[in-house]
Amino acid sequence: MIERPRVSERAAFVLDIRSDKIADYVEAHAEVWPEMLAALKAAGIRNYSIFLEGTRAFGYFEADDLEEVSSSLAASESSARWQRAMAEFLSEPLPPSGPQTMREIFRLE
């Protein structure tokens, strides 16, 4: 039996992508900057995935401390640059704190 590490916290969010920018959004995520990947890992993010259906992107990640993730990314110049680059793809601008995370209502371990 494969033993999975205990997940302290999970986060999920949705983003609405401009219909004329979907291909660009997908392309940007096919080649995420190495410094952005390093910033995500340094913030404690793991098991991060983004899914796309139509113009709606759904993101999910795991971390030990979501507040630490938020603080770390807020202090990261790489993250700030990435967010500015991604802003042109979004239907609505994100707040400075990033996308609103969703409430978890079900979990099967």
Is residue 29 among the annotated active site residues?
yes
- At residue 28, the 3 state secondary structure works out as helix
Catalytic-role residue among 14, 27, 29, 75: 29
Q: Please tell me the distance from the alpha carbon of residue 108 to that of residue 50, in angstroms, as a whole number.
A: 20
Catalytic residues: 29
